[in-house]
Copies of this chain bind each other. A is one copy, B any other.
């Protein structure tokens, strides 16, 4: 009877760099002074999109005070419609880097094309969004530089496909990959995504890479974000990535899923208690 359903030899052969056996003790990934991996609980928080200096700095101050270790902010936003607000672009990256310096906190932003790499110079961690999880040209380009990469799971990606995408980055020479579950697409339409928390222990057993969880995109409305965030930590996630906005009703994108700073502070406290950290 098989209580562990995977064949470790096969994993080692198919994913020589990403498979657990390549680093049984687990990887610790550095983002500035922050360490993500075994024994840590890393909270990443910030607005869906960088909208203005004031909005970003207000949020940065609040999430840092509440215990966030890394500041997030979208600048080149992939939007389903070509007519939707797609972020401030270069100006957003400047503001984000400035906020990082001002609040002594590393910053992460999504990159959607290898050509944009030079503009991300002041950014500490590069996020690959769900839509680009199998954009191999982008993955390879990120593998040829050294900044840590936050690799979100695609909406219809299997564990193996996700791991293979990480392998694309590792193979080019960049060992600094962090995975992030953010909800898959199922028939269930009561929430924006279906958060697959089995991904946390499964991916932690398949790979040595840290696994974070983004409860905001999974929930789609702020009402359920905190419960999913707590659940993710209880499942063993190495951290959370949460969208926070000081005035969600005025957000230019995804406001309905943003937590208020005080809601995030409560979630951070609960998360630490559950994780015992």
Contacts and interface: CB of A to CB of B under 8 A. Distances in A.
A136 interface: yes
Given A198-B228, A233-B234, A274-B234, A5 B223 contact: yes
A113 B138 CA distance: 9
Contacts of A118: none
Given A112-B136, A186-B187, A201 B227 contact: yes
Interface stretch (A37-45, A56-64, A74-82, A96-104): A74-82
B197 A228 contact: yes
A230 B223 contact: no
A236 interface: yes
A173 interface: no
Contact of A131 (B114, B134, B235): B134
Given A156-B156, A188-B184, A190-B202, A1 B227 contact: no
A158 interface: yes
A51 to B, nearest CB: 15
Interface string A213-224: 000001111111
Contacts of A205: 223
A136 B82 CA distance: 9
Question: How many copies of this chain sit in the oligomeric assembly?
Answer: 4
A159 interface: yes
Contacts of A232: 231
User: Which interface residue of A137, A223, A231 has the most chain B CB atoms within 10 A?
Assistant: A231
Contact of A190 (B158, B171, B195, B218): B158
A78 to B, nearest CB: 5
Contact of A186 (B81, B161, B194, B222): B194
A124 interface: no
A11 to B, nearest CB: 12
Interface stretch (A26-34, A144-152, A248-256): A248-256
A55 interface: no
A121 interface: no
26 contacts: A2-B256, A4-B223, A14-B81, A80-B161, A82-B164, A112-B136, A113-B114, A131-B134, A132-B134, A132-B135, A155-B156, A159-B190, A184-B188, A184-B194, A185-B187, A186-B188, A186-B196, A197-B197, A198-B219, A198-B228, A200-B231, A205-B223, A230-B234, A234-B234, A234-B235, A234-B274
